[in-house]
Amino acid sequence: MAVVSRCSRAATAATTANATTATTFAYLIRSLSPFSSSSSSTFDPQNDLNNRNKPAVLGTLKRESKGRNVQWVFLGCPGVGKGTYASRLSNLLGVPHIATGDLVRDELASSGPLSSQLKEIVTQGKLVSDEIIIDLLSKRLEAGEAKGESGFILDGFPRTVRQAEILEGVTDIDLVINLKLREEALLAKCLGRRICRECGGNYNVACIDIKAENGRPGMYMAPLPPPPQCASKLITRPDDTEEVVKQRLRIYQAMTRPVEDFYRSRGKLLEFDLPGGIPESWPKLLCALNLEDREDKQSAAA
């Protein structure tokens, strides 16, 4: 039976019984192994790195053996940088980065049956329905399974408690990383995003410089300029307007924040406050995860 139909039935059953989803959806991720973590914590980069000799906040987070791959989820408001950090961790750990936002954009660019429906949803800043997301995700997982993929880092899913319940019924998510960034920085980042219309590269023209005040630390995030060959080919995503971005943030607050509570209650949530741009945040995120990027260290030392 097709994977898509299995996923659709799992989504329907989630509203009444999570046990049913475990059997109907299990076909998808039957080969994926868990990566153990049982703690929930908040990582404050300003304080938790002062003493490098003390245990990291996820001290029990260790690779168990060769061949065991992570099954992680990235949460966070639109524009926080989920894709950037998930992609870096994907390369570091050797697991696929599956971004449902990319799946939606790929479908939008196609002439598939969902493209016109998705265009209306996205341009209005609304959340794509569970059924559509599960349909797209199931196709991606099916293709990955055929190529022998094991493990994953999900970015943009789950976005509702219902989606989280569906996922919980099928596989054991090891860790949920919740990236957090103050709202004024989020808005500036979203409005500064640019995409190369030829290569698809993602860049940002915003220079965010927030001064320290009222006991809150300052924050600086440098632009991420394109290479010369892309500079004249930059376009803005149609949903990156101030009105749509603010609407997306309101929707996130109302619908997606409960997903944080869902995983927090299960001891799987790591909350990470981004202290700045990638050069400052990346090493601190790795420290929070008890990971090390040797190539990044070698580049910095060169």
Active site residues: 82, 159, 193, 237, 248
- For residues 264 and 270, give the distance between their C-alpha atoms in angstroms, rounded to a whole number: 8
Within 10 angstroms of residue 215's Cβ, the number of other Cβ atoms is 5
Pick from 238, 285, 266, 275: which is nearest to 86 by CA?
285
Q: 143 in helix, strand or coil?
A: helix
Q: How far apart are CA 249 and CA 36, in angstroms?
A: 32
Instruction: Decide if 241 contacts 125 (C-beta within 8 A).
Output: no
Task: Specify the 3-state DSSP secondary structure of 176.
Answer: strand
Rounded Cα gap, residues 32 and 213, in angstroms: 47
Tokens of 94: 């050797």
